Structure 1
Amino acid sequence: MSWVSHISEGIAWLERPARGETLVLLHGIGSNAGSFAPLLPHLPETTRVIAWNAPGYGGSDPLAQDWPQAQDYATALRGLLDRLHIGTCALLGHSLGALVAAAFAAGHADRVTHLTLAAPAIGHGVTPGEVLSAAAQIRIDDLERQGAKAFAAARAPRLVFRPEDNPESLALVQTAMGQVTMPGYGQAARMLASGRLLDDAERLWLPTDVIVGAEDRVTPPEGARRVHGVLHANARGRYTELPDLGHALYQQDPARFARALDLTAAAAA
């Protein structure tokens, strides 16, 4: 079954209905809910899959805060889950989505059966309201100067391992990135600047896996290993490094990424 589109109280999401465990997917800063389309056929048919468009993305209203923090996105996620009457779910956050997923799970451990942090963005640790980190400011400046299409054309190849040999994966990444808009992207970039994933990871007390592409140039494996290393012993799940994959690992090889997911543990929780 393919996606069904929904929108509720300013949040848009895609759903593949099913009667089993619910898996919620949180995309990265240059992506959207539709970016998970390549992964969908490789997930168990009994799994209900929900992919949100984060505030400011794909039909979702931006947040009220000019400089939101991960917890503000987590609050928006909690509202969506409440409206959908989802008491518990497995949660997967990719890149920037990992910051949101960890913030939500740290505050609502009773609602997450299993957490996966994929190519996790650690954040830059800037105090909100201070000078933006250079990396975040460059993102905003480039988007405003180049426009979304040119911005995506320039940045997307960094997300795919050997993009010249993987034109279909590159096209998927570039298409999604070419749809980003302000103010949503600017808010997300500022959240990335103030993000502190390692702090939230230390607060996790539920099964947490970390998956990263061995060739990831955006969120390299060293960072993913740091995240896995700070997890408490009872929360430290599997660490998986997938060879020959970059940042857009679930788009470049969705079958291999799906095999790395521990959805059986989530369903049994």
Structure 2
Amino acid sequence: MTCTIPRRSETRSGTAYVAEGTGEPLVLIHGVGLRLEAWAAQIEALAATHRVIALDMPGHGGSAPLDADARLPDFVAWLERTFDDLRLERANLAGHSMGALITGGMAATHPGRLDRVALLCGVHRRTPEAAAAVQARAATLRDGERDSSGPLSRWFGNAASPARTLVRDWLESVDPDGYATAYTAFATGDATYADAWPAIAQPALFLTGALDGNSTPEMARTMAAAALRGTAVVIEGHGHMVPMTAPDAVNAALRAWLAGEARPQ
């Protein structure tokens, strides 16, 4: 979180991004309500060996929004356009939370454009109770209500920290319509590509925090077991914002994933 994020560039279709380093491309997609700075520790560490391209999700940071009725496949289509705009024939792809759902969708629908995939704090087939709760929160956002205390409590508990302060500021400044659109896609997308993993040949990392009650360790292990080349990593003592709260452990897992053999040619 301490590295300096360079000024954003923008693709022809309106995606804001930063690119650091050289080498194999690694594309990073953040979660709902956040912005590409959530990957600061990963950008700093991994740009030493890779061309790291961190994106602002539609309607977040500096990126243009999607239509209000957009769902997860529309966010996947946005990512494909962004690959085209950046002239990425293929890349490594990692996403956190909603970014993980987009990553899984890209792997399911455009596998030839990916060498490796990593889902950090990804959801997979929520229980009916969890689905009802997240869809109720999405409806509240669409009605114009926004309260950062709920996600902060779920993601960080009650302890104060610099990461919590940053995330609070992002949640309170994000475009409300872009936030509501992305959150609705997040709330309704956990089963959209859930059955695709047995056909995905890329090395697939599924990482989450042991204390994450929404993107649970059980979900990570289930996806890893279903994938052809899946690996589950659970970071003890951390929750949903593990890329920010445990950057050393997350970066070590990402380095190991990036060092492994890529998808079959």
Give 2:135's aligned amino acid: A
Deviation at 1:2, TM superposition (A): 4.2
Is 1:199 aligned with 2:195? yes
| Whole-angstrom CA distance in 1 between matches of 2:125 and 2:177 | 19
The Cα shift of 1:52 comes to 1.0
Matched, 1:217 2:180: no
Asked if structure 2 preserves the Cα contact closer than 8 Å seen for 1:106 and 1:205, the reply is no
Cα offsets for 1:44-70 (capped at 9, x unmatched)? 413111111111111222212x33232
Q: Is the 8 A contact 2:115 2:203 kept in 1?
A: yes
Find the aligned partners of 2:32 and 2:38 in 1 and give their Cα distance.
11
| Residue 173 to residue 242, structure 1, CA distance change in 2 (3 Å) | same
Tell whether 2:176 aligns with 1:174.
Answer: no
Deviations along 1:100-147, one digit per CA (max 9) or x if unpaired, are 011111122111111001110226599xxxxx9442232441585554
The letter of the residue matching 2:106 is: F
197-206 vs 21-30, which deviates more?
A: 197-206
| 1:129 corresponds to | none
Answer whether contact 1:123 1:193 (CA < 8 A) is retained.
Answer: no
Letter in 2 for 1:218: N
- How much has 1:153 moved relative to structure 2? 3.2
Structure 1 residues 18 and 267, CA gap change in structure 2 (3 angstroms): farther
Q: Which runs of 4+ in 1 moved over 4 A?
A: 123-126, 142-146, 266-269
Following TM superposition, by how much is the alpha carbon of 1:171 offset from its aligned partner in structure 2, in angstroms? Answer: 1.4
Contact 1:210 1:239 in 2 (8 A): yes
Q: Mind listing any 5+ residue stretches in structure 2 that lack a counterpart?
A: none
- 2:94–2:120 contact (8 Å) kept in structure 1: yes
Counterpart of 1:157 in structure 2 is 153
- Alpha-carbon shift at residue 183 of structure 1 (Å): 1.9
Report the alpha carbon displacement of residue 185 of structure 1 after superposing the two structures with TM.
1.7
- Structure 1 position 243 matched with structure 2 position 243: no
How many residue pairs end up in the alignment?
Answer: 255
1:188 to partner: Cα distance: 1.5
Percent sequence identity over matched residues?
Answer: 25
The equivalent of 2:137 in structure 1 is 138
Shift of the 178–91 alpha-carbon distance from structure 1 to 2, 3 Å rule, reads same
Separation in 2, partners of 1:105, 1:268:
11
Structure-2 change in CA distance of 1:69 and 1:125 (3 Å): farther
- Cα distance in 1, alignment partners of residues 245 and 142 from structure 2: 24
CA distance in 2, matches of 1:243, 1:199: 28
**TM-score when scaled to structure 2?**
0.86
Aligned letter for 2:173? Answer: Q
